[in-house]
Amino acid sequence: MKLARKDLLGLEGLSREEIELLLGAAESFKDVLKRKIPKVPTLRGKTAVNLFFEASTRTRVSFELAEKRLSADSVSVSAKMSSHEKGETLLDTVRNLQAMKMDFVVIRHGSSGAPHFLASRIDASVINAGDGAHEHPTQGLLDIFTMRERFGGLDGLRVAIVGDILHSRVARSNIFGLRTLGAKVVLSGPPTFIPPGVEELGVQVEPVFDRAIEDADVVMVLRIQKERQDGNFFPSLREYAIQYGLNRARAAKLKDRCLVMHPGPINRGVEIEPQVADGPRSVILDQVTNGVAVRMAVIYLLSGGEVEHGLVS
Ligand code: CP
């Protein structure tokens, strides 16, 4: 099977078959990454540029690693070190990069829709590495991959996503992907952090944090995205931590097999207590590990790669 798409801009609109194809390919690449030499020649001759207009540790490094593990050539550019600082437009920057024959553009940008703007104007495949508060599809895929790895499937799974939903591209991508795969999604957080009308996406809103997490199979904790806020959304960090922080007392009441997830970066002591982030329920570092295999799968399938009998060929 092939993925009949040039770009990956979001999980919204992806079919169940497409998401399962991506997850299946990621499973194969996870096996590749366990080999003594964790590298395949699949994308030899292809070139990727990673264009990051916002800070990143996990996404940027794992895209770079994914490209190297697939034997693609890659270069990374950050906004501060690029001619963006001299006033060059995004489109001009990317057109110039394409003039050097790029096959993939991985872009993180503070403006929602920036990857979509590029995708319709250039021949290279565009991969959204996070655009404003809109989507972060590879994060959504690696989160879903991590849940599927632990539970086998997503149908009927109850996933509580808690915290700053309003500014979270991770929440949106997870909502689209999880709903498509049959999971139930419950959102909780301060009312100012819950987008009005979000129930239309097929999710439940439970304002009482303890009720939202009591039957959950997965609790996904989100950071407060201060960089996207222009007002006061809650009285103080201390009060936030008391009301919405996943602390040891709350974690002790979770269902036996309940997983604790966080896309990172973590603000320890605010949305999650260090002992919970590092505790036995936490799969936070597994999420990071899985990010490389998932990003390999995305690049491979967008380049026209096939999955046959669950294996990449
Ligand atoms: N989860 C995530 O996007 O982390 P980074 O901002 O470090 O890439």
Sign of CA dihedral 99, 76, 113, 202: positive
Picking from 197, 204, 162, 202, the residue whose alpha carbon sits closest to that of residue 182 is 202
Instruction: Give the C-alpha separation, 34 to 73, whole Å.
Output: 22
Cα 110 to ligand 1 centroid, rounded to whole Å: 13
Q: What's the confidence (pLDDT) of residue 230?
A: 65
288 and 264 Cβ atoms separated by less than 8 Å:
yes
Å from CA of 67 to ligand 1 middle: 17
Query: Where does the chain have alpha helices with state H?
Result: 16-33, 58-69, 90-99, 114-119, 137-151, 169-180, 209-214, 237-244, 248-252, 274-277, 284-302
Q: Give pLDDT tens digits along the chain (313 positions).
A: 999 999 999 999 999 999 999 999 999 999 999 999 999 999 999 999 999 999 999 999 999 999 999 999 999 998 887 888 888 999 999 899 889 999 999 999 999 999 999 999 999 999 999 999 999 999 999 999 999 999 999 999 999 999 999 999 999 999 999 999 999 999 999 999 999 999 999 999 999 999 999 999 999 999 987 776 666 777 788 999 999 999 999 999 999 999 999 999 999 999 999 999 999 999 999 999 999 999 999 999 999 999 988 788 7
SS3 state at 143: helix
- How far apart are alpha carbons 74 and 239 in whole angstroms? 44
What is the DSSP pairing of strand 184-188 with strand 158-162?
parallel
Residue minimizing CA distance to atom 3 of ligand 1: 59
Ligand 1 binding pocket, CB closer than 6 Å: 56-60, 130, 139, 263-265
Q: How far is the centre of ligand 1, averaged over its atoms, from the C-alpha of 309 (Å)?
A: 32
pLDDT score at 228: 63
Q: How far apart are CA 181 and CA 179, in angstroms?
A: 5
Q: Whole-angstrom Cα distance, residue 7 to residue 81? A: 26
In ligand 1, the atom with minimum distance to the C-alpha of 54 is 6
Output the pLDDT for position 276.
Answer: 98
Given a contact cutoff of 8 angstroms between Cβ atoms, the answer to whether 200 and 150 are in contact is no
Residue whose Cα lies nearest atom 5 of ligand 1: it is 56
pTM over cut 0.75: yes
Site to probe by mutation for ligand 1, drawn from 59, 107, 144, 290 as the one with most ligand atoms within 8 Å of Cβ, is 59
Residue 229 has a pLDDT of 65
Question: Closest ligand 1 atom to the C-alpha of 59?
Answer: 8
Domains of the chain with CATH codes? 16-135+289-302 (3.40.50.1370), 137-287 (3.40.50.1370)
Query: Ligand 1, atom 6: nearest CA belongs to which residue?
Result: 56
Distance CA 4, CA 15 (A): 11
CA-to-CA separations, 132 to 8, 114, 169, in angstroms, rounded: 16, 9, 7
